[in-house]
Structure 1
Amino acid sequence: MSIVLLEPPRPKNPKRFEDVVNAPLSACLFTDYIASILRENKISVEIINAHLYDWSIGQTITRLSKKSFRLLCVHAVYLWEKTQEIFDMLSILKSDGLTAYINLYGYYPTFAYKKILMDFPFIDSVTVGEPEFTILDLARRILSEKNISVEVNIPGLAIRNRNGKVIFHQRPPVQDLDKLPYPARQDMNLYQKKGIVTYIQGSRGCYGNCTFCYLNPFYGQTNQWRGRSAKNIFDEIFKLYTEYSITNFYFSDANFFGPGKPGKERTITLAELILANNLDINFGFECRANDIEEYSLSRLVMAGLTNVFLGLESGDPASLKRFKKHATVDENKKAIQLLREYGIEPTFGFIMFEPNSTMESVRNNFEFLKEMGIMTTPAVTAHLLYHRQTLFEGTSDYQLIVGGTDRSTAASFTGYEAPYTIRDQKVEAFSEVITNICRTTLSQLPNTFICKLDTLNAGTNSASLDVLNNTLITLFDRTLSHFETNAIPYSPDEIREMSRKLIHNVETAMYKKE
């Protein structure tokens, strides 16, 4: 074995619940596509998925130290404060005698490559953007030379030159996705045992250009969506269905639908292929609200569509405009209603607080959530009510906040996210209180309502959840009204005391005896 592709451990971080934003679903097949490209080119490669195997950092070090390989490519995911642990792991491997060349790839290293190469000398290079062919070229160079030159000129690869300066040359993204081999499929029994759906990637990029998203900047492009043909997608699904009896799929696309009429027609063609071949499958996808229309939706539902993640982002017109979402509140409502008419209760991308939030925008968001009946369980409600926009490097909103600020002294992972205070002081104070309440709820839900399911009958558990859910909604409403009608500022002590009292109400509801 010459090359190892590592999905490293993802240490739990009790302070963070925003996995949906720091590890986009569209990244989940990076490693599998790289492996398939390497194997197609007769290069020996092993995937080590420490995250899937639930290995600790120590276990991963032990496993890797027993193997012999020349190139270690690591899918680096941003883990907030825990990110340092992955770099520490790689540093220990090097200190213990690992001689392999180390490369990082993924969303996070794409935008933080300069700081990574400045801060961590044991990292030899970073793949910027789409990884498959950059890593193929790197692997060929590694395997053909005893000592790779620091001046290696591979498009898409960021390295240090002989003077220690970071250099990089852009690689254009793959245009014809049908020419890619299907992603490598490994540990399928373990995925199924863990209840993890089988992912399919039908497209890359997005025809939108939302200010909070770094998808298109990752690919080095703007407003460009690239889709596999319906036949190519169907052939992969058919292979997995017939050879592995897989019936549950999820599209990892950031935007399942392509732009305009051709985008709808492509999805209809895929649905017709599934129906014509009598595949008994279920599948889900992510999309924008403005792409939901009746005819294509009806065909997709007939073909097995059961799950839709809808990128609403806001119920406030001003916020949607700031995000450059190019969608309206009415379009969001119509999409939800149409999906429900076809038996699908969608899940949602939603930003309650952002740097320019006002009391009016927060109220509009809350009323929208209530009107649409979205806040159905404590876990969903807690996430929706406190979710605060994260500003990651690569997004235009990050640039607006950071501007010309010198972040050279920040660690590579802390500088990746731009902290901010909401401009409206009243909203900022309200956000702090609600965050304290919702994070307390989320941190205690697993112990209270998941681990004890075996000891509670369904009715009691459901009733307890309803009490907690209604408490969260009521407390948000009352606290919002309080902030709307009272002057500020509130001192940090006052915010803590207000949070303490409200958390007590939540905990009372959480442990209330029926």
Structure 2
Amino acid sequence: MGFSVGLIHPFLTEAQNKNRLKFRESLALGYLSAALHHARIKYRSINAELQFLDPNEVADLLAIDDDVGLVGLSCKSQRTYRAAKDIARLLKRSRPDMHITIGGVLATAADIKLLEDCPDIDSVVRGEGENAIVELATRVRDQIPLDDMLGVTFRRDGGIVRNDPRARIGNLDDLNFPLRDDLRYVMKTTGAAEASAYIVASRGCYAACTFCSIHQIYGNRAVVRRTPGNVVSEIEKIINDYGIQRFSFVDDIFLIPSRKGVRWVEEFCDLIWDKRLDINFYAEMRADTLNQNLLSKMKRSGMHRIFIGFEAGVDSVLQRWDKGTTVADNNNAIEELKKSSFEPFQINMGYIMFDPEMTLAELKQQFAWVKGTGYAKVQHLQNKMNIYWGTPHYDRMVAQGRVSIAPFGERWEYEFDDPGVRFVEKCVRLHHRRFEDDESRELLDAKERFRVFVRGHEDIDSSKSPRWLTDLVSQAHRRLEWLEREIYFTVFETAFRHLDSGGDHSAVQRENFFRKLWTALLPAIQRLREEAICLNKLIAGIPDMIIGTATADKLNPGPNQVLFNSTRQIAALRLSTPDGGDLIYTASIGFRGEDRYDHSCKIDRIIDGSRRGWSDIDRSSLRQWTSAVIEARLVQ
């Protein structure tokens, strides 16, 4: 009988809706697979998140393979521990002889607690895993005890042994490029249009944010970087092997604010430019690292989207989180971004709306700041701080005498100190959950179809459809996203007005308030659903659309026709609907604005042969409807 290793990236099934809109390549599995392959150790890699496999399905795949003697569970997030635990239980039931190990941030931070919690896991690999997985596989295969293996915590004689830590990998260029089994799977199942590659150029972060858990896996705040040439060589290999032009850097911080850090980015960009690599890439950085020279150089080299970790718009909150930045830093970064050639929709950000110690005054400032940036998404408005095991914020909560009632590995379910913050957050959470349960399917379908459409049309040499048609569809999508966000804005603003007018914070009042608020917002929610259905149908119908040009000031396309006036840069598309009331989407091509969802998209209905405007839902109508909620309470 042979020997092989099973590598698993577990899937948290509750996050299925969220994950529908993301590509879920696992670089951890890629690097571990490459290390085993280089050591001539057979392996099987299963990215359950990518393939939507639950623990039973994963266990069934591995349990029938008698050669699998070691299973490595790679948990990138704390919440996936529950799925990993289920997989371990199922595997041990059928294969008690199998050695099961686990790695990741939670496993490194809470190794002993994890082994106490899950008797089916035999060992924990702490820290980086490439060298450790090869050594562990060799020891399990050859039945060599783990007594002197660095960086492992394991069971022995009914107890738990924690060996000394393994040193960090000092030269990342020495690592083999990660294997791309996930890329092959995506290209096989959905095609190249869906595929993009994750790249890591560095490991670690110098900052000390209280909510971040990354330091636990590395043991310090040192940043270890690959050389620019090594990174570019990997990019070239992926282009040659897969024909992929889209890359996402998943570094904890791409640009370090030091001369060495700036020089690294400049050398990387110069290499991309000198080699004439036509790529799009995404990277994450802090607010205090931006300047026009670097933004221009990164954009010229192919940076297509940028992520800034603002996190908060209130100085007292940034200080509480030891963020190391100020609101002034955030505002300066926004000004730099606005002066750059990045469009608003190309700019993403990290933002945590709620934390347990936040006051109502801070929350109002937090909301006002993010709304004023023009970069806000619905996700930012929902985010509350996750308290990860062993982080400085976790220790802070424990020192305050707070106790988490959640099981080990789950999110800390805390209460907010300020009753006003508690009221607003619960209203937002109630709205989000009810919307997800009752109304979100069509919206998710439209967003997913749009994502696939854009992926298939944003390639540098794409000729699948005219650029102006892609722009028209993008503006229709921005219109949809704008309305969804406006509804969330309205939930916040109405809750604030309720509190400002003397409304109480009780749970009974909150339920009564939310019920009335949901009823008031139903027209907007229904419109959002209708527009999502229409956008989905519009994108699906594009291959069969008749594309033409016109010179008239007002474009009147026929059924399933799209027209473009190149002089006025206006496009119009007519969408046939089942009820016979066709829709005409019209937009000024190239329109951007300053907000990520600004658009010029207008929708008209064709009813009985005549063109009528589809009355738009705007901020004034939303405020008018929800004002009745406040007035009704005052009357009571």
Quickly name the TM-score band, shorter chain normalised: 0.7 to 0.9
Is residue 480 of structure 1 aligned with residue 480 of structure 2?
no
Q: Tell me the secondary structure at the aligned position of residue 283 of structure 1.
A: strand
> What aligned pairs does 1:76-475 form with structure 2 within 5 A after superposition?
76-78=75-77, 80=79, 83-145=81-143, 148-149=144-145, 152-192=147-187, 193=190, 195-221=194-220, 223-340=221-338, 341-344=340-343, 345-375=346-376, 380-381=377-378, 383-403=379-399, 411-414=407-410, 417-443=411-437, 446-451=440-445, 465-475=481-491
Q: Which residue of 2 aligns with 1:35?
A: 33
Q: What is the CA–CA distance in structure 2 between the aligned matches of 1:469 and 1:75, rounded to whole Å?
A: 35
Distance in 2 (CA, whole Å) between partners of 1:17 and 1:52 is 12
The Cα offsets for residues 157-201 of structure 1, whole Å up to 9 and x where unpaired, read as 111232413424222211211111111121423334372420111
SS at match of 2:184: helix
CA–CA separation in structure 2 for the residues paired with 1:293 and 1:33: 33
TM superposition shift of 1:438: 3.0
Query: Which deviates more from structure 2 when the two are superposed, residues 435-444 or residues 252-261?
Result: 435-444
How has the CA–CA distance of structure 1 residues 384 and 211 changed in structure 2, closer, same or farther, with 3 Å as cutoff?
A: same
Match of 1:61 among 55, 59, 82: 59
* 1:217 partner letter: Q
Secondary structure at 2:293's aligned position in 1? Answer: helix
1:352 CA displacement = 0.8
2:502 aligned partner, one-letter code: N
Residue pair 2:112, 2:160 contacting (<8 A) in 1 also: no
Q: What per-residue deviation string (whole Å, max 9, x for no partner) do you get for residues 452-486 of structure 1?
A: 6889x968876565444323213312311332453
User: Would the aligned equivalents of 1:422 and 1:428 in 2 still touch at CA under 8 Å?
Assistant: yes
Question: Per the alignment, do residues 407 and 468 of structure 1 end up closer, same or farther by CA in structure 2, a change over 3 Å counting?
Answer: closer
Tell whether the 8 Å contact from 1:385 to 1:438 is kept in structure 2 after alignment.
Answer: no
Inter-CA distance 39–441: structure 2 relative to 1 (3 Å threshold): same
Return the alpha-carbon distance in structure 2 between the equivalents of residues 14 and 72 of structure 1.
24
Report the CA distance shift for 1:333/1:140 in structure 2 as closer, same or farther (over 3 A): same
Cα distance, 1:79 vs structure 2: 6.5
- Offset, 1:258: 2.6
Distance change in 2, residues 1:137/1:406 (3 Å): farther
User: In the alignment, which of 42, 45, 49 is matched to residue 44 of structure 1?
Assistant: 42
Contact 1:73 1:102 in 2 (8 A): yes
Letter in 2 for 1:95: R
User: What is the percentage of aligned positions where both structures have the same residue?
Assistant: 26
Shift of 1:430: 1.9
Deviation, 1:123, is 0.8
Contact 1:464 1:510 in 2 (8 A): no
SS at match of 1:319: helix
Shift of 1:354: 0.6
**d(CA) in 1 for partners of 2:365, 2:481:** 25
Q: 1:481 to 1:325 in 2, by over 3 A?
A: same
| Matched residues, number | 497
**Equivalent AA in structure 2 for residue 134 of structure 1:** A
Q: Displacement, 1:264?
A: 1.0
Distance 1:253 1:89, change over 3 A: same
Structure 1 CA distance for aligned equivalents of residues 16 and 363 of structure 2? 23
Structure 2 counterpart of 1:190, one-letter code: Y
Distance 2:525 2:243 in 1: 41
Aligned pairs for 1:3-42 (under 5 A) are 3-13=4-14, 28-42=26-40
Q: CA RMSD in A?
A: 3.1
The 1-side partners of 2:478 and 2:181 are apart by 38
Q: Deviations over 1:13-61 (max 9, x none)?
A: 16996999xx999x93112112212222232222222332233333222
Q: Aligned letter for 2:416?
A: I
Residues 293-339 of structure 1 show CA distances to partners (whole Å, capped at 9, x for unaligned) of 11122111111001112111001111111111111212212323323
CA change 1:15–1:41 in 2 (3 A) is: closer
Which whole-Å CA distance do the structure 2 matches of 1:5 and 1:199 have between them?
A: 22
Q: CA deviation at 1:443?
A: 4.8
Q: Write the letter of the residue equivalent to 2:498.
A: H
Deviations 1:62-81 (A, max 9, x none): 2112212211111135464x
Asked if the contact 1:356/1:424 (under 8 Å) is kept, the reply is yes
Quick one: distance in 1 between partners of 2:217 and 2:123? 17
**What's the CA shift for 1:243?**
3.2
Of 248-257 and 132-141, more deviation after overlay is shown by: 132-141
Q: Deviation at 1:426? A: 1.9
Question: d(CA) in 2 for partners of 1:77 and 1:267?
Answer: 26
Cα 1:61–1:246 change in 2 (3 A) is: same
1:504 corresponds in structure 2 to 519
Distance 1:298 1:505, change over 3 A: same
Between the aligned partners of 1:117 and 1:508, the Cα distance in structure 2 is 51
The one-letter code matched in structure 2 to 1:402 is: V
Distance 2:519 2:106 in 1: 38
- Which runs of 5 or more residues in structure 1 are unaligned? none
Taking the aligned partners of 1:407 and 1:42, their CA distance within structure 2 comes to: 47
Letter aligned with residue 480 of structure 1: F
Aligned equivalents of 1:128 and 1:404: distance in 2? 29
Structure 2 length-normalised TM = 0.72
Task: Using the TM superposition, give the Cα deviation of residue 234 of structure 1 relative to its aligned residue in structure 2, in angstroms.
Answer: 1.0
Aligned-pair CA distance for 1:404: 8.6
2:558 corresponding residue in structure 1: none
Higher relative contact order (CA 8 A, sep 6+): 1
Choose from 476, 495, 499 the match for 2:510: 495
User: Given residue 199 of structure 2, which amino acid in structure 1 is its aligned partner?
Assistant: I
Q: 1:233 to 1:128 in 2, by over 3 A?
A: same
Indicate if the aligned counterparts of 1:10 and 1:79 stay in contact, CA closer than 8 A.
no
Query: How far is the alpha carbon of 1:371 from its aligned partner?
Result: 1.7
CA distance in 2, matches of 1:10, 1:403: 33
The secondary structure found in structure 1 opposite 2:110 is helix
The answer to whether the 8 Å contact 1:65/1:98 transfers is: no
Q: Helix, strand or coil for the counterpart of 1:420?
A: coil
Counterpart of 2:69 in structure 1 is 70
1:451 alignment partner, SS class: helix
**Which moves more between the two structures, 422-431 or 27-36?**
27-36
Task: Note closer, same or farther for the CA distance 1:188–1:471 as it changes in structure 2 (3 Å cut).
Answer: closer
Residue 373 and residue 277 in structure 1: after superposition, are their counterparts in 2 closer, same or farther (change >3 A)?
same
Amino acid of the structure 1 residue aligned with 2:87: M
Task: Give the Cα separation in 1 of the matches to 2:477 and 2:431.
Answer: 21
Tell me, yes or no, if the aligned pair for 1:191 and 1:197 is still in contact at 8 Å.
Answer: no
CA contact (8 A) 2:309 2:351 kept: yes
The AA in structure 2 aligned to 1:219 is: Y
TM-score, normalising length from structure 1? 0.88
Note if contact 1:257-1:291 (Cα within 8 Å) is conserved in structure 2. yes
2:240, 2:81 → 1: CA distance? 40
